[in-house]
Structure 1
Amino acid sequence: MFDPVLLGAGRDADVFALDEGRVLRRYRNGADVTGEAAIMRYVADRGFPVPRVDRAEGADLVMERIDGPTLRAAMAAGDLDLPAGAEILADLHRRLHDLPARPGSGLRTRVVHLDLHPENVMLGSRGPVVIDWRNARDDQPDLDVGMTALILAEVVVGDMFGLGALADAVLTAFLDRAPGDPVRLLTSAVAMRRGNPTLSAEEKGRLASAATLVRAGYTGLR
């Protein structure tokens, strides 16, 4: 066993290495992780690539450590071309939304991630693995696809981390490949992002322009 080592700090959680194969993610506000863990186990049992969950209790989630770069880092470094990265995002959506609905979920709903962007895809030894399932729930797949497009567009509009040009190219390629209709529930995606307490006022101010960018880029012809 290793002493816990801080690996990273996100907007609302810290991630610690517990040993060579496991990490602990702990929410600073004490948010309960059991619902998130249940969804991760559900999709994992049906073959979707997520970290293995070892323990979920209170604000602590102990899970498999995924080694490898994020999808964003691989594309930014030139190790993965942008259309291929966009295809990975589109394929992950397709695979997730093709899973059977959870018992008791609404008509036409599936498990949706609602934060599936290049920073939340790890390129591990077993292929792309989706992390950070805090926002996941049962809902309509088009909302999930629209949320990914919106988040990419936010990076374009704000040129966040100097990645605006990269995100613009990925967004264009994603809109050409994404399953479903990324704009049908885009207004709902904007409302969800606007209600996100971890976003700054400046970030929320970019949402309208980001949504316009998504609508302008989606032709519906695939």
Structure 2
Amino acid sequence: MKIGELVGAGRTADVFALDDGRVLRRYRDGDDTTGEVAVMAYLAEHGFPVPAVWPGTAAGELVMQRLSGTTMVEALVNGAITAERAGELLAELLRCLHTIPARLSADPGHRVLHLDFHPENVMLTPQGPVVIDWATAAEGPPGLDSAMAALILAQAALTMPAVSEVARTVLSSLLQHLDGIEEEHLAEARMRRAANPTLSPDEVGKLDEAVALITETAGS
């Protein structure tokens, strides 16, 4: 396996090109990717749009299909998609994901949750949208996933001035196309975000304001 150029980098991992039309995702802290690979394979079996995936040669690696296209964030910047349509599409993908039964949990109300669902983790390919980065995937009530998606957008609106207006519009559209965000799920999402070690102090400090923004937007 010949590792090529760096083609992407996130808060916890780097992505390198491989010479066979695939990419290598390598976590900087060496986290085991076994669970992530299993979740993605399970979702693919149920027809949900995820990249094809294979285990890497080390615990902190996985190999994925290299996708063509742009992230939803890039499409928003270049005008290929409107903020209103982006929010609608996020809601559609969440609803589709939450029709799939949990892989492990025996609770009939549980589903597979992404828990880091935002425009940077949606690739818009010629074949349609594909959801990437399943490192935080878990199982539980689908409302928690929706609340987390809304909270991430609200934090972006409050902490990233360059995209604030767009993030607010995407958030508004997302909330319009969901069945509502329950208070208990929003509280759980806030707690999880506060415990996320990759967030900056400013992002954590804006959590209460972000919750208030969601409540205000949902009620408008």
TM-score, structure 2 as length reference:
0.94
Is 1:154 aligned with 2:155? Answer: yes
1:128 matched to 2:124? The reply is no
Q: Is the 8 A contact 1:183 1:215 kept in 2?
A: no
1:79 aligns with 2:80: yes
In the other structure, the counterpart of 1:172 is 172
* 1:185 match: secondary structure: helix
Structure 1 residue runs of 4 or more that deviate by more than 6 Å after TM superposition: none
Q: In the alignment, is the contact (CA less than 8 A) between 1:145 and 1:179 conserved in 2?
A: no
Q: Is the 8 A contact 1:141 1:180 kept in 2?
A: no
Return the offset for 1:180: 5.0
> Aligned partner of 1:150: which letter?
L
RMSD: 1.7
Show the counterpart of 2:50: 50
- In structure 2, what is the equivalent of residue 100 of structure 1? 101
Moved more, 168-177 or 103-112: 103-112
The answer to whether the 8 A contact 2:27-2:60 is kept is yes
What's the CA shift for 1:30?
0.8
1:19 is displaced (CA, Å) by: 2.4
- Over 3 Å counting, the alpha-carbon distance change for 1:186 and 1:131 in structure 2 is same
Q: How does 1:16-27 map to 2 (within 5 A)?
A: 16-19=16-19, 21-27=21-27
5+ residue gaps, structure 1:
none
Q: Deviation per CA, 1:67-116: give whole Å up to 9, x if none.
A: 11111111121111121111110000000001122244434110010011
**Which is further off, 137-146 or 175-184?**
175-184
Q: Matched residue of 1:174: which SS?
A: helix
State the Cα distance separating 1:179 from its structure 2 match: 3.9
Deviation at 1:183, TM superposition (A): 4.1
User: Tell me, which stretches of 5 or more residues in structure 2 are unaligned?
Assistant: none
Residues 1:205 and 2:184 aligned together: no
| Secondary structure, counterpart of 1:168 in structure 2 | helix
Distance apart, 1:184 and its partner CA: 4.0
How many Å separate the matches in 1 of 2:96 and 2:105?
A: 21
SS in 2 for 1:32: coil
What amino acid does structure 2 have at the position aligned with 1:152?
A: L
Percent of residue pairs bearing the same amino acid type: 47
Q: Which residue of 2 aligns with 1:11?
A: 11
* Alignment partner, residue 61 of structure 1: 62
